[in-house]
Amino acid sequence: MTVAMFPGQGAQAVGMGKALAEAHEVARRTFEEADDTLGYAISEVCFAGPIERLTATDVCQPALVAASVAAFRVAQEAGLRPGLVMGHSLGEYSALVACGAMGYAEALRTVAERGAAMRAAAQESPGAMAALLGPADDEAEALAAEAGEAWPANYNCPGQVVVSGTSAGIDRLVELAEARGVRATRLVVDGAFHSPLIAPAAERLRPALEAWAPAPADPPFLSTTTCLVEPPERMRGVLLDQLTSPVRFGHAVEAALELGADRFVELGPGRVLSGLVRRVRRDLPTAQVGEPADLDKLTVV
Give me the catalytic one of 24, 88, 194, 251.
194
d(CA 135, CA 156): 12
d(CA 1, CA 157): 21
Q: What one-character-per-residue DSSP string does 217-274 give?
A: PSS-BB-TTTSSBPPHHHHHHHHHHHHHS-B-HHHHHHHHHHTT--EEEEESS-SHHH
d(CA 226, CA 218): 19
d(CA 87, CA 267): 10
Give me the catalytic one of 24, 68, 88, 89.
89
Q: What one-character-per-residue DSSP string does 99-153 give?
A: TTSS-HHHHHHHHHHHHHHHHHHHHHS--EEEEEES--HHHHHHHHHHHSSEEEE
Active site annotation includes 194: yes
d(CA 53, CA 169): 29
Q: Give Cα 280 distance to the centre of its chain.
A: 17
Name the phi and psi angles at 243, rounded to 5.
Answer: -65, -35
Q: What Cα–Cα distance (Å) separates residue 172 from each residue in 132, 166, 167, 263?
A: 13, 10, 9, 40
Active-site residue list = 89, 194
